[in-house]
Amino acid sequence: MEYVIEEMFLSHFEQTMQLWRISDGVRLKSVDSRKTIERFLERNSGLSYVAIDDTKVIGAVLCSHDGRIGYLTHLAVHPEYRRQGIGRSLVGRCFYALMSISISQCALMMMEEDQNAINFLKKIAIAGRIEMMMMKKLE
């Protein structure tokens, strides 16, 4: 199977949302609307990526930064395409893009009960510490 990794654009939105909807570890909220993803991609140009097989989005990750630390969220690979290095390639591409703008630390945000994500990150030799709790204002 041949796939390509390319920068995520708004034109990938519908297929990416379909992928995220079938991915156990991704929880979609109102902040994942087309408009907010468009704003996210504009503010973080060149940092988020999709994996494409022919014309189908088979993997995706959102990447951003606050000027000091990078953040990866919504990392997903279609179940039929897992265990082929796609997730590793997406993460690697994000790390490279962050390093190119002098950001050398990155937090990968996931649900603490997502054992598949934790196992994946351990497999690709990313060590973690559970030391952060995120809170949000209720809508």
Residue 93 · residue 5 · CB < 8 Å: yes
| Residue at 45 is within a domain | yes
d(CA 23, CA 36): 20
| Residue at 69 is within a domain | yes
| Residue at 132 is within a domain | no
Structure confidence at residue 108 (pLDDT): 73
d(CA 24, CA 4): 23
CATH number at residue 107: 3.40.630.30
**Higher-pLDDT residue of 77, 121:** 77
The residue range of the domain holding 75 is 4-123
| Residue at 51 is within a domain | yes
pTM to 2 decimals?
Answer: 0.83
pLDDT-based confidence at residue 27 (cuts at 50, 70, 90): confident
| Residue at 139 is within a domain | no
Question: Average model confidence (pLDDT) for the chain?
Answer: 85
Tell me the pLDDT tens digit for each residue of 11-20. Answer: 999 999 999 9
Structure confidence at residue 126 (pLDDT): 59
| Residue at 96 is within a domain | yes
Phi, psi for 78 (deg, rounded to 5): -55, 135
d(CA 121, CA 33): 27
**Could you give the number of structural domains in the chain?**
1
The DSSP annotation for 13-74 comes to HHHHHHHHHT-TT----GGGSHHHHHHHHHHTTT--EEEEETTEEEEEEEEEE-SSEEEEEE
| Residue at 8 is within a domain | yes
| Residue at 65 is within a domain | yes
